[in-house]
Amino acid sequence: MVRFINTVDAGELRPVRCVVLLVNSLTPVVSSVRDLAPQLANNRAYWLSWGSADDTDAELPIYRSGLRHGLLNGVLRARGIDIDTAVRRAREVLEGTSWMWWNHPVDSDPDVADLLLSRGASLAGVVPVMAARLDGVPAVPAPDGIRIEQAHTDAELAAFAATYPVPNGMSAADTDATTQVELARDGRHEEQLRYVAWAGDRPVACGVLSISHGVAGIYNMATIAKFESRGIATALTAELLREAKGRGLKVATLTASPRGAMVYQRLGFDQVSEYRLFAW
């Protein structure tokens, strides 16, 4: 499916979208950017797809991609579970990786943050949760020479997987591992659409639209250094939002870096909450 350069007639797209809406009708579409619970559930669904047998409603959902990046392995919440049991289980599952513990007071028991600190964890960072209504998404054309397409085939998914390691602090040597992770996703928790921005035959940016719990999640936005500050990330994000709106969704959610937040604010996102990330 081509983005911006639309090679598919709208009449051919409609039946596909109708099926998606029918499947998603089991979950109410979220209308308010202040409705945090489904946004946090969307976040859990996305990260669990990195490698986990846990469900999104588990008391201690843990994901392990095995990749060499702290955010790609971790604990998503602790609710209704003894903290020492939770810490022990997390360490057993995540041994040998770099990992993070996500904490949000709506998602976890209210004393989890203090209990983690008392057991030797340190605050690694604060991550804003941002949200936007999809009825106000601006039209943002792709820069000259850039085309934005959804990745479908194994080759396209491999290009997607090759785009984000270096911008996210990994190395080009991690590409084989990221490709295996991308090809192994099973779609149990979400409908995930992966996009690549191309300059000729070179993938230069990527992003993910993750649909679950009645909201549209934006994840894994990355642009290789040579192509930064050209408006590619803005156009790519706008395309993901346009796709989400076309599927009947009303709210988009994401977590942002300080630099990324500026891009998202231009597209109508506001900060609605924040996660705290803990590490040992």
In order of their start, the domains of the chain are 2-30+132-274 (3.40.630.30), 41-128 (no CATH)
Q: Is the pLDDT of residue 52 over 60?
A: yes
* Cβ-proximal residues to 115 (8 Å cutoff; 6+ apart), any chain: 83
198 confidence band (pLDDT: 50, 70, 90) = very high
- Per residue in 67-117, pLDDT (tens digit) is 989 999 999 999 999 999 999 999 999 999 999 999 999 999 999 999 999
Task: Report, as an integer, the average pLDDT of 155-177.
Answer: 94
CA distance 104 to 126: 10
CA distance 169 to 181: 17
Structure tokens at 254: 């994401």
Q: Is the pLDDT of residue 9 over 60?
A: no
- DSSP percent split of the chain into helix, strand, coil, nearest 5: 35, 25, 35
Strand partners, 3: 148
Task: Report, as an integer, the average pLDDT of 244-271.
Answer: 93
